[in-house]
Copies of this chain bind each other. A is one copy, B any other.
Amino acid sequence: MEEGHVQVIRIGHRSARDVRMTTHVCLVARAFGADSAVICGEPANDVVESVRKVAENWGGRFAARYEPSWKKAVLEAKKRGEAIAHLTMYGEPVEEKMGEIRKRGKVTVVVGAELVPGEMYGLADYNISVTTQPHSEVAALAVFLDRYFGGKELGAEFKGARLRIVPSAKGKRVEETNIKG
Contacts and interface: CB of A to CB of B under 8 A. Distances in A.
Q: Is the interface of A mostly helix, strand, loop or mixed?
A: mixed
A127 B94 CA distance: 29
A14 to B, nearest CB: 12
23 contacts: A20-B20, A20-B21, A27-B136, A30-B133, A30-B135, A54-B134, A90-B167, A90-B174, A91-B167, A91-B169, A92-B167, A92-B168, A95-B155, A121-B170, A121-B171, A121-B172, A122-B170, A127-B169, A130-B154, A135-B142, A138-B138, A138-B142, A139-B141
> For A134, A155, A158, which residue has the most chain B Cβ atoms within 10 angstroms?
A134
Interface residues of A, number: 55
